[in-house]
Amino acid sequence: MLKRYLLAPGPTPVPPEVLLAMARPIIHHRAPEFDPIFAEVRAGLQWLFQTRNDVLMLSASGTGGMEGAVSNFLSPGDKALFVNGGKFGERWGKICKTFGVQATEIKVEWGRAVDPQQVADALKKDPSIRAVYVQASETSTGVSHDVKTLGEIVKAHDNTILVVDAITALGVFDIKTDAWGLDVVVTGSQKALMLPPGMAFVSVSDKAWALADKAKNAAFYFNFKKERENQVKNQTAFTPTVSLIVGLQEVFKMLKAEGLDNIFARQGRLARAMREGIQAAGLTLFPKESPSDALTAVCAPEGIDGQAIYKNLRVQYGMTAAGGQDHLKGKIFRLSHMGYADTFDVIAALAATEMVLKGLGHPVQLGRGVGKAQEILMAK
C-alpha cells in the first residue's frame, strides 16, 4: 500500500468536510435554496479579498479570470505593462497579444522580484498605459512580488489600473485589496481555497469598472458586466459550478473559524519551516529574494536531475510535488504548503526529499532538514 500525498502548487488537498459537502445531492442553481448559499459565499469572498467590491465567480480555472481581466478592461490597440518573472507572468503577455493589446514587458530574472521603481518609471515615461499586470506569487519560481508598493504607484495614475494574479497568494499571505489599491485581483479554487479546480474569482474596483465601460474587446462567456448584473441578485449569467460553490460555503466556515491573521501566521510558519529545513538538508532555495509562502522552489543538487527527484517522490513515496517549467525543467523542484496543510505535511515532504536524494546518491544526512523544521514548528 502506498499512501498518496498531494504537495503540488495546485490542485491542493481538499478537506474531508468540504468533500462531504460537495457529495450532497445536487441542487438547481435557479432554485430558491441556492440563493442563500450563493449570498453567503459572495460575502465570504469579500472577507477573504478584504474588499467592498463585488467578487465575481466564474466557472473556469484561474486562467479564465486572467483572460477576463484583459478582455473586459482593454480595447485593441490599448497599451499595457506586464511583469514577466516566470511562466505565469509570461502568460499575461500572451493574453494581451491575443486581444490586440500593445503590451510592454518588464522582464525579471526568474528567481527575483520586480523592482517597483521599474513600473513607476515605465508609467512616467508613457502615461497612456491603461493597465499593469503582475503576479502576487509567481508559481513557477516561488517568488512573490511587492503588490502593495505597486498599488501605491498605480493609484497615482487616474487612468491606469493594477491587475494582480493572486492565484497562489490569496489566502496564503496578506492581500489587502482595497487598502492597497488593487483594482483587479484574480484567484482560483484549487489553491489556498482548498477546492477542486473549476472556479476563478475576480474582484473589480470602481476604477476598473469605469475602464470596462470603455473597453471594446469582445467578451461573451467571460463578460464581467453581465456576471455582475446577475451575481448581485445571487444568480449567474450561465450555469455555475454548483457543487464547488456548496463546497466553498464549507471552506469559509473553516477559514472564518481560524481567522485571517491566524491563517497567514500558519502559512508563514509552514513556509519558514520548509525553507529552513531545505537549507539545513544542504539544499539551495531557487528564489534569490522575496520567497512566496505558498510554495518552496528548490534547486536540484549538481549532478542530480530535478525531474528524477520529482518523479521519485511520487513513485517511491506517493508524494506528488512539481518540477521546473521551461528552462528550469530538471533544475528545480517545487513543494507546496498552501491551503489544507499542517505541520506534518512539511515534515513528510522534507523526510521524503532527504530519502529520495539519498537514494539518488547525493550525500545528504538524513534527518537534518526534518530536525530543523521540527524546531521551528514546535516554537509556534
pLDDT at 1 over 90: no
Which domains does the chain carry?
5-10+260-378 (3.90.1150.10), 16-257 (3.40.640.10)
CB 187 within 8 A of CB 170: yes
The mean pLDDT of the chain is 97
Helix, strand, coil % over all residues of the chain, rounded to 5: 40, 15, 40
Average pLDDT over residues 265-279: 98
Q: What are phi and psi of 241, to 5 degrees?
A: -85, 80
- Grid cell at residue 210: 469605469
pLDDT at 147 over 80: yes
Confidence of residue 380 (pLDDT cuts 50, 70, 90): low
Tell me if 334 is assigned to a ligand binding site.
yes
> What confidence score (pLDDT) does residue 188 get?
98
CB 304 within 8 A of CB 318: no
> What confidence score (pLDDT) does residue 218 get?
87
Give pLDDT tens digits for 218-258.
899 999 999 999 999 999 999 999 999 999 999 999 999 99
pLDDT-above-90 percentage for the chain: 99
CA atoms of 193 and 172, how far apart (whole Å) = 9
Residue with cell 498552501: 338
Average pLDDT over residues 179-204: 98
pLDDT-above-70 percentage for the chain: 100
Q: What is the pTM of this model?
A: 0.97
Give pLDDT tens digits for 312-369.
999 999 999 999 999 999 999 999 999 999 999 999 999 999 999 999 999 999 999 9
DSSP string, 304-360: S-HHHHHHHHHHHH-EE-EE--GGGTTTEEEEE--SS--HHHHHHHHHHHHHHHHHT
Give pLDDT tens digits for 49-90.
999 999 999 999 999 999 999 999 999 999 999 999 999 999
**In this structure, is the dihedral angle defined by the CA atoms of residues 345, 350, 353 and 359, taken in order, positive or negative?**
negative
